[in-house]
Structure 1
C-alpha cells in the first residue's frame, strides 16, 4: 500500500495529498472546500483534544459553548476585526426553503428573509464578548477563563485537507482579566502550553515568537505564535495566542467594578489551534512509506500480526499473545491483535506501515517454539527478535524512545534549515534554494515587509521571543535594525 505513494523528493504536495487519503485520515466531501475526517484521522484528533484539554484545565480553564451564528452587527463593532475577516465570511440571509412553483425543485423562500443577516462564525470573539458583558460585573468575576471546542467557517478558495479548508475544527480560548499584566501573562502561558504540547505530544519542535503588526490577528495588540518547519523547507504556523488589550471590552462595553469601586474595562486574550495541527504532524515526521506517528498520539500504538497456516496455528498464537495484550493494556498502551483472515500478513505489514503504527509485532509457529516475537519500529523500520516473556516492559521503553527519537530527528532538521544571512542576494538564494527559516535583519517597516513578500514570497514568520540585541542593517533597505527576525515561505 505505502509503496504506491509519490516520493517526497518528486512532488511533496502530491505526496501529502495522497498520504492523507491513503492512510484513511480524511477525504474531500460533496461540499466544495470541506473535508470528511475519517475514523482513523479523527482518532488522532481526539488524542490531540484530550491532551490539550487536560493542559487547559490544569491551568484553570473551563469549557463552554457559544452559538454558531453571529449577528452581522456584532462584527461591525470592532473595526479591525471585521476588516480582517470580511472576505472569509459565510452569510445566512434566509431561514426557509419551498418547492418551486414550476416543480423544478427546492428554492429559497424570498418571503423568509432574515431581518439581520447571520454570519457563520469565522471566530467567536464578538458573540463571546457580547455574552461576557452579562457575566462580568465585579473584580470578583475575574479572571474569566473559558475555552470552546467548535467548528468555524472561513470561506477559502484554495483548499487542502487539514491545512486549509472552508470549515475546520479547533479550540478557541477567550479570557477576561482585571489588569493588563494578567492578560499578557495569560497569553504567554497559553503559548507555553501550545509549545509544550507540540514538542512533547506531537514531537514537533517549534520556535516561539511574536508576529509583526502586519501579521497579527485582526483586533489584537500582540500575537504570540509557535512556528514549525516542515520537511519541504516551508514553515507552518502551529498555534497563536493573542493579547487583545481592551479593544473588545470597549467595543462591547464589558466593564467591572475594581476593588476601589471604580469602573474599568477588562483586559482580554484569545487563542486557538486547529485541525491544521494534523497537517503539521503528517509533514514533520512521515516518509515515503507512509505516516510516522508519535506514540503519544497514535490511535494504535502496537499491532500484533499472527503468521499462521490454519485455524489451529492461529488459535495457538492467540492463546500465547492474549496475556501480552492484557499486560500492555494494563500499562495504558493501545494494542490491536489483527487476526483478520481476509488479508495476508504482507498486506497487513504494509497497511500498518502506511498508517504509522509505532510498533509492530509478528508472531509465528517458530516464535511460539522459541518463546520469541519479532518487533519492528515504524520510525526507523528496524527489526529485532525479543523474548515474549516480559516484552511489555521492552515495548514501553521502545515507545518512549520512538517519541524522543522522532522529535530529535525533526529538531536536527529544523536546526539545519535555519540560515543566517546579511545580504539580499544571500536571502533570495536561500529562499529559492535550500528553504527553511532565514534569520535576517529587517528595518521594522510594513512597507519593507510587504516588498520582501512580493519579491520572494517569504514572510516574517516571527520575531523570536526576547530577541538578543544584534544591531545590523536591513537586508532589503540597509536601514538600521536592532535584531534579526525569521523569514520563510509558509503554508
Structure 2
C-alpha cells in the first residue's frame, strides 16, 4: 500500500470544485426530469425530490439518498406515515418475496419440513426461561399492556423471534425418538422496535421472514441440516437474485445468542464497501432443549433420557434491499429476470399522425399477437398502451421499475419481421427475428441473469482482500474492501480490532471516497468455508498488533450493516 500524504492546497481546491460541479449537475438533472401530476405538462419545477418521477440522487455520490429514492419511486415500498419505522410492501416487492417463498418452500419440503403457524404473542414467563437469549432483544421488545380501556393483568410481548412461543410445545409433542426429526417452518412477521434510524428492507420495526425450527436426535443429524439450509439460502441469493455470497461460520462473538454455532451467507455492497449479513442457519445444540425440557429416551440405552439437538434458521425481506443496492443504477431498479414480475415489456413505437386509424389498429393488433406468442412461451410479458405518454417517457418509466427487457415494435420492425430490444442491465440494443422470438427471448433473459451475477461476483472477488500486514487494513477498508485476515477468533481480540479501526477514515487523503468513508470500526463477518492458503496453525500470528495469540483461521472482517 502507498504511504498516506497530506493533501495539497491544489488538491483541496480541486475537491471543492468537484463537489460544486456534482451538486450543480444533480440540480440540473432534477429540473430536466418529469414531474408528477399536472406539473409534468406545465413544466413547473418540483418542490421536493419526492415529487419528481425519476431518480435525482447519484448512486456514486449520495448512496443513502439514492437507495431511498429507488425503493420508493420504483414502487417497491411506501412509507407508513402513521407510525415511524414501518413500511408498506407494495405488489412489486411481494411478488419478489413470493418467488423466493415458493422456491425455498419447495426445497425445505423435500427435507420433510412442514409448515405451521404459532401465535404472535409471548408471555413474560416464557421469556424468563430463555433470558440469556432474549437479553439481546430486550430493548426492541414491543409490549401490549392494554385491551380496550383495561390494563392486562400480565403484559404480553410481540414476538421478535419465536423460540419462546414454539419450544414449550416441542416439549409436549416430542415424547420419543420416533417423533424425531420434528421440522417446522412458519412464514410470518416479527416486530423489533429499532431505536436506530430505520431503512426500508434493511432495518424496519416489522419485517417479513421465514423461521424454521427443528429438533434432531444427534449433533451429526442437526449439523447436516444446518449446511443444507445454508446452501438453500445461498441459492436464493445466487440463483434468484444474482447476488454472490460468501458461506461461512460466525465467530463466538457474532453467533446467535444462546446457540451452539451459527453459519451464515455474507454479501457485499460495492457502493460503500460494506459487508451485509444475508441469512443465517444456526445449530442451537442442546441449550434450548435443556431450557424447555425437550427430551427423549436414548434409543441406545433404555431408561436414559437425552436432550434433543435443535436448529433454527431464518431469511427475511432484507434480501430485496441487498438486491436493489447491488444491481440498481442512476435510472432506478435493475431486476434479475428470474424474480421480475414483468420480464419483457412491449412498447409500440412509430405510430405517427400520418397513419390512419386502421393502420394504427392493425399495428397494435400485431403487437398483441407478439405478446400472446411470447406469453405462451413462458415469458412474463406486458404491453404498454397508455395514451398521453411518449415512447421515450415509457422507456424511462420501465427502466425506473427495472424490467429486464424492453421490446420495441414499429412499422419498420414489422416490415423487417423483427422485434427490437434493449437490455435494462447493460443498455445493449439489438433485433431478433420474429420467427425465433420464442427461443431467443428466453435465452436472452437467462444471459441477462448470468451476466448480472457474474458482474456482481467479479466485484465481490476484487474487493475481498487477503491482508497480512496490519498497516494495510485501514487503507483497504477506505478503498471499499472487506478484508480476510489471520485471526485468533477470541472475543476480546475482536473488540480490540473494532476499537483500533474506529474513527474517521483516513482524512489526509485527497480522494472524495476517503472523505465520505464511514467512521465505524470493522467487525468479523464470518470465518469463510473457502479458506485462503498461507496460514500455518501454531506459527501464524493473529493480525491484531495488540494480540499475542496465534491465528486459528482466516476471518473475513469489514465495515458492515
Query: Which TM-score bucket, shorter chain as reference?
Result: over 0.9
Question: Aligned runs of 1:35-184 on 2, under 5 Å?
Answer: 35-96=87-148, 109=149, 112-157=150-195, 158-184=197-223
Instruction: Tell me, yes or no, if the aligned pair for 1:27 and 1:161 is still in contact at 8 Å.
Output: no
Correspondence for 2:281: 241
Tell me the distance in 2 between the aligned counterparts of 1:422 and 1:348.
52
Tell me the distance in 2 between the aligned counterparts of 1:251 and 1:218.
14
Tell me the distance in 2 between the aligned counterparts of 1:392 and 1:248.
54
Instruction: Tell me, yes or no, if the aligned pair for 2:144 and 2:157 is still in contact at 8 Å.
Output: yes
Tell me the distance in 2 between the aligned counterparts of 1:62 and 1:453.
41
Instruction: Tell me, yes or no, if the aligned pair for 2:55 and 2:70 is still in contact at 8 Å.
Output: no
Correspondence for 1:104: none
Gap regions ≥5 residues in structure 1 = 97-108
1:168-204, CA deviations, whole angstroms, 9 ceiling, x for partnerless residues?
0000000011111111111111011111221111111
Tell me the distance in 2 between the aligned counterparts of 1:116 and 1:252.
21
Aligned residues: 476
Correspondence for 2:309: 267
1:55 is displaced (CA, Å) by 1.8
Tell me the distance in 1 between the aligned counterparts of 2:180 and 2:55.
56
Instruction: Tell me, yes or no, if the aligned pair for 1:194 and 1:226 is still in contact at 8 Å.
Output: yes
- Answer yes or no: is 1:461 the counterpart of 2:461: no
Correspondence for 1:100: none
1:478 is displaced (CA, Å) by 4.8
Gap regions ≥5 residues in structure 2 = 1-32, 34-52, 502-520
1:468 is displaced (CA, Å) by 5.8
SS at match of 2:232: helix
1:205-234, CA deviations, whole angstroms, 9 ceiling, x for partnerless residues?
110011111111121110100001112211
1:486 is displaced (CA, Å) by 0.4
Tell me the distance in 1 between the aligned counterparts of 2:366 and 2:61.
44
Q: CA RMSD in A?
A: 1.6
Correspondence for 1:99: none
Tell me the distance in 2 between the aligned counterparts of 1:290 and 1:61.
38
Q: Which moved more, 1:206-215 or 1:471-480?
A: 471-480
Tell me the distance in 2 between the aligned counterparts of 1:123 and 1:407.
32
Correspondence for 2:9: none
1:82 is displaced (CA, Å) by 1.5
Tell me the distance in 1 between the aligned counterparts of 2:268 and 2:111.
28
Correspondence for 1:473: 541
Tell me the distance in 1 between the aligned counterparts of 2:245 and 2:178.
37
Correspondence for 2:333: 291
Instruction: Tell me, yes or no, if the aligned pair for 2:407 and 2:419 is still in contact at 8 Å.
Output: yes
Instruction: Tell me, yes or no, if the aligned pair for 1:226 and 1:238 is still in contact at 8 Å.
Output: yes
Correspondence for 1:411: 457
Tell me the distance in 2 between the aligned counterparts of 1:356 and 1:338.
15
Tell me the distance in 1 between the aligned counterparts of 2:542 and 2:360.
69
1:466 is displaced (CA, Å) by 6.3
Instruction: Tell me, yes or no, if the aligned pair for 1:435 and 1:488 is still in contact at 8 Å.
Output: no
Q: Which moved more, 1:278-287 or 1:260-269?
A: 260-269
Q: Which moved more, 1:85-94 or 1:159-168?
A: 85-94
Instruction: Tell me, yes or no, if the aligned pair for 2:252 and 2:489 is still in contact at 8 Å.
Output: no
Q: 1:114 to 1:18 in 2, by over 3 A?
A: same
Correspondence for 2:421: 375
Correspondence for 2:474: 428
Correspondence for 1:360: 406
Tell me the distance in 1 between the aligned counterparts of 2:194 and 2:142.
10
1:272 is displaced (CA, Å) by 0.4
1:251 to 291, 308, 325: 291
Instruction: Tell me, yes or no, if the aligned pair for 2:55 and 2:332 is still in contact at 8 Å.
Output: no
Instruction: Tell me, yes or no, if the aligned pair for 2:274 and 2:559 is still in contact at 8 Å.
Output: yes
Tell me the distance in 1 between the aligned counterparts of 2:547 and 2:94.
49
Correspondence for 1:206: 245
Tell me the distance in 2 between the aligned counterparts of 1:218 and 1:331.
49
Tell me the distance in 2 between the aligned counterparts of 1:58 and 1:306.
45
Q: 1:3 to 1:141 in 2, by over 3 A?
A: same
SS at match of 2:387: coil
1:3 is displaced (CA, Å) by 5.3
1:330 is displaced (CA, Å) by 2.4
Instruction: Tell me, yes or no, if the aligned pair for 1:151 and 1:168 is still in contact at 8 Å.
Output: yes
Q: 1:146 to 1:446 in 2, by over 3 A?
A: same
Correspondence for 2:17: none
2:553 to 480, 483, 489: 483
- Answer yes or no: is 1:305 the counterpart of 2:347: yes
1:53 is displaced (CA, Å) by 1.6
Tell me the distance in 1 between the aligned counterparts of 2:423 and 2:359.
25
